[in-house]
Every structure is written in C-alpha cells, then in structure tokens.
Amino acid sequence: MLASYVWELIADLRAAADDQAGAADAYGRAILADRAGPLDHLLIARAGALFASGRPDDAAAIYDLADKAAASDFTRAKIDLLRGQLFAASGSTAKAQSFYQHAIDNYPETASAYLALVALLDGGATVNDLQRGRVDYHNGKYQPAVDALENYIRATPQPVAEATYLLARSYAQLDQPDAAEPLLRGLIALNSPTAERTKAWLELARVQLHDRDDPKAAVQTYLDFVETGPAPTDGAAALASAARASASAGTLRQAADIWLRSAAQYPDLPTASPASFQAGIMLYRLDETESAQTAFAAAAAATTATPEQIAAAKLWQGKTSAKLGLTESALSNYAAAAAADPRNYYGLRASQLQAGSAPLLKTGTPELRTDFDAAQNDFEQWLSAKLSLSTTTGLRELAEPLRADGRWQRGSALWQLGLEDEARTELVSLRLAVRTNALATYQLALAYRELGYFYGSIYAARDCVDALGFEQTPLEAPRFLTLLRFGPYYEDLIASAAAKENLDPLLMAALIRQESLFSSTATSSAAAQGLMQIIPPTGDYIATKLAWPGYIESDLNRPIINVPFGAFYLAEQRRNFEGNPYAMLAAYNAGPGNARRWLDLAGDDPDLFLEVTTATETQRYIRRITEYRAVYATLYEP
C-alpha cells in the first residue's frame, strides 16, 4: 500500500550512506509504485543517484523524462542546471553550456538560472550582458545587474527598453533614486507606447513616494500618466494609487477629487463603485457629509456594483443620514444594505446598526455544543430523499469504491503515521476526483473528520454543498453541512481558553477558522504557526508572560499550547485597546502599532476604523471574522 513511500525512504537512506547504485534502484521502485501527485522529485533524485553511481547516460535520460513531467518553470530550470552539471562533469562542455544557457534564456527569474549563469562564467563562457542583467536582477544581485546592463546599453546602438527599465529598478533597489529617475524619465519620453514605458511611469511614482518620501510628486506623476491615455485598467489603477498617496499624506480633499475623477472617467470598469465609495469616505472624514452622501449614492448606483459593494454604499448612506440627523433615512438605508448582501460583512453590520448594536457583540453565554447526532440524522433523511436513495443505512460509511481507492488507503495510513504533507497529496487527489458527487463528498467529509484531517473535511463538506446545488448560497444548505464546514474543531480547547481569558468563544472559533482553517500544523510565509498562527517571537513573549514551563518553538504546532497562547495574546490586545473589537483584531493581525495608527484616524467609530485600515489583508481579516462569527452565532448562540 505504501510501497512508493517506503522505497523513497529506503532510497534516501541509501543515498545518505553513499550507496548510490542502491539508491537509484530504490528511487526507481518508488516511481513505479502507486502514489498520487507529481513524480518529478523522484525522477530528479533517481537521475542524481544514477549519475553518482557512474551511469551518466541513464541519468541524462531520466532528466529528460523529468523535464517532460515538470509542472513549473522552477522545476524545469532546476533540471536544466542538473543536466548542465552532469554533462560538465562528463567532459561534454558544449552540451553542458547549452543547458545552462537554456535555463538563463527561459527561466531568468529562478535561482537555478542564477546558478547556471555562475557556472557558465566560471567556465569561461561568454554570456550576453542583457541576459546576465536579467538573471542578476531577478535574483536580487542588483550591483552585478547594474554592471551588466550598463555594459549592454553602452555597447548596443538600440538597446531594448527592458534593459533600461531593469537598470532603473536595480538602482532603486540599491537606494540610488538619483540614478534611477533619469532612466525612468527617458523611458517615459519614448514616442511609442511600450510595456516598459507604462511600468516606468508607475515605477517613477513609486520611487518618489517611497524612496524620496515625496507624495506630492508621486501624485502628480500618476496624474500625468493618466493624461497620456493609457489602457482604462491602467488608468484606473494609477488614479487609485494617486488617491491613496494623497490620503496617506493627509490631503483628503485631493484624494476625494481623484476618486471621483476615477469613477467619472472609467464608469464601466469594476473600479467605478469602489472609487465613488472611497470618495465618500474621504468626504465623510472631512465632515462634508452631504457630498459624502452623494458619493455613496453613486457607488450604490454604479452599473458594475456587486451586492457587497451596494451593501457597503447603502450602509454608509445610512451613516451619513444619521450624521445629518435623518433617522428614518438612516434606518431605510441600513435595511437596504442588509437586504442587498445579508450574509456578508456589510449586510451583517448594517443589521447591527439598524438594531443599534455594537459590532462583534457577545450575547448571552454561547456554548460550543450542539445536538450533532440529531442534525446528522435530519440531514441524512433529507439527503436520502434528495438523491432518491432507498435507505439511509450505511450513508456514513465510505462506499466500497472509496474505501478501496488507493488514495484513501495510502492517505489515511500516511496521516496516522504523521506524514501529513504526503497524506494531503493523496487525500486531496481523491477529493478532487469525486467533488461533483454529493454522496461521495459527504462520506469523505465524515471520514476526513474522523481521521483528524479537519482542513480536508471542511473542503469536502463544501464540495458536497456545491454538488447539491447550493454553490451560490452555501449557508442555505442543510445545517449539518454547515456544522461540518465550520465546526468548530478543537471546541473544548477553544471553550476553555476563551473562558480563562473572558473571550467570546465564537469569536475565537471564527479567528481560528480565518487563521488556519483548523489545520494545527499550518505555517504561513511569515513563519506564523499553528491554529492561531503565532509567529515565533510572539510565542517566546507569551511563554515568558505565562511562565510556560519548557516551552520550545515547535510547541506552537500543538493545539493544547497554541490555543491558550493565542487567547492570551488576543485578550492582551483587547486590554490594550480598551475593548475595541476591530482594533483588537487588527492588532492581532497587523501589530499593535498599525492598529493604534488606524484608531487615531477613526476615533471611536468602528465602521470608520475598518475603512481607514490601509492594509487590505487586515481589512479583509476583520470582515471575514465578522462573517464567520455570524455563522457560529446561528449555530450556537442561545
């Protein structure tokens, strides 16, 4: 059942013991045995072992197979590099150089292309300076990129515009804006429009804004670019950048005017409604309430407005009406917002404003307990009728084709062995294969849940929702499927930690779902770990504050530690921000410093806090947690 994985482990051990011939044989057996997912890493490993055992021709053939099977440029570049190294070691210099050059020509953004460049130069080969500059630039070697690109430009009567742009970008990355700006202005002055000319306009504005801290100059550059008549999407993006730069500099009136210009100049783009909306926010902050009301009305009426955008605009029409003392109009607009998009953030928040309640307000004493069995029985009765099944007996057990599927057998065994990455490859492949089959996805959701693969259970339940025809209205699916999708899982840990820190357990469950989707081993690109996505320095800080005995970084992947740690830190942010729920969540996600800055701009208005939050990820974070908590409230609040 696990032959491929066992042979791979044997191969790795043999390679580590320098038994390369044995490793090559074992990798070959691993390739031939059944498993889901790509095989390119095994092919590359087998080729390497064949070469190390004195079989270069066989190794080259396997590399060719790996190249054909490769699914990404990263892998293809790596294979080019390895083939080059193989032929170089075999004395076939010309062939080695051809593979190195192929990596440089086709995959300049990869690290393997950079290593191929180094190999060529170390071998005395001549490499085109433009290609050298490209590879050096994309691999963060900015000074070598400058040297190569300057050589190319000096030696070439009509250098390509890309070279000038990359040279300017390299100077900017080296904190030399005085060298970058003339190059960018030279590209801007070109008579014919090119992709590099457009990029040069935007890069010049970026240099002015971030490197020179001159938002006034950056705004003017964006506006000048729009006057050149770029593609509508480029023009709208430039105006958005100009408006944000104006707002960050405190020139709210200019920002409002630019947003209004964008909506008027590009009324048929999806950006029209958000542009009018942002103009309304600027005007609201300026206490130009009637003008803000007009902008929000335009946002709601835009032909490209989505239900979410309509709800947002109607909510803020309500707030402007309330500010003007027009109570009935305010309530009418809140009701319209709630009706436009009832399940998502702005509709939910509008309902709260209509009722006069604060955001994320805990009501009663919710418990993460429900009659799971009764809900499951009700669902299976419904499902049986929906699918015209003769009985509900056996619905909870994997059907024979699923139980006999090698992906289930291998995936479940690998999961139990703690080889979660390998298990996910098998289990995801199985789920995707049956995702349109309502009964199969239901059975997988239960099986994955029983296995402890909660992340997969959630996705399988969502597949079941879609297969049953609830794609557009997933929360209108039977309640039991919502329980499978939302859980929460680890409910006892969540309830205990929430009680200790006097936190809302439903809010904690919503936060964990947003942070990790209940994957206890989740790790982000910022090294945040575990259910509540705690970064190691914060983990050290919490461990010190709690005097946690014997704490080590890997403990962050243990739910029994991660959840109490996350609850402590969330409660600390609540204290730091005097119970403000949005500031608390923003501090948890983006840091207390950012949250304090946004709070200073918004004052005690939580709705304005959300809109002045300049980090798109954090804004989305607050909205999603609000939406998830609302789902948990329908499931668990008394």
Catalytic residues: 515
Cβ(308)–Cβ(341) below 8 Å: yes
Q: Helices 406-416 & 420-433, crossing angle to 10 degrees?
A: 150
Cβ atoms of 98 and 92 closer than 8 Å: no
- Distance CA(148)–CA(124), nearest Å, equals 16
The packing angle between helices 111-122 and 129-138, to 10°, is: 140
Distance CA 504, CA 516 (A): 18
Report DSSP state, residue 157.
S
- Chain-centroid distance of CA 164 in Å reads 32
Residue type, 201: W
- DSSP code for 17: T
* Selection from 211, 156, 151, 157 nearest residue 184 by Cα: 211
Distance set, CA 316 to CA 135, 423, 617 (Å): 49, 47, 21
CA dihedral 322, 325, 329, 331 (to 10 degrees): 50
Q: Which of 131, 193, 205 is nearest to 166 (CA)?
A: 131
Beta strands in 146-277 (DSSP E): none
DSSP code of residue 477: S
Judge whether 206 and 199 are in contact, CB under 8 Å: no
Q: C-alpha distances in angstroms, 92 versus 57, 117, 121, 478?
A: 12, 17, 16, 66
Q: CB of 147 within 8 A of CB of 170?
A: no
- 365 CB-near residues (< 8 Å, 6+ apart): 638
Can you tell me the distance from the alpha carbon of 447 to that of 206, in angstroms, rounded to the nearest whole number? 51
Residues in a beta bridge with 529: 523, 534
Residue for token digits 């999407």? 233
CA dist., res. 150 & res. 99, Å (int): 26
Measured over all CA atoms, what is the biggest interatomic distance in the chain, rounded to whole angstroms? 86
- Tokens encoding 163: 């070279």
Task: Decide: helix, strand or coil at residue 529.
Answer: strand
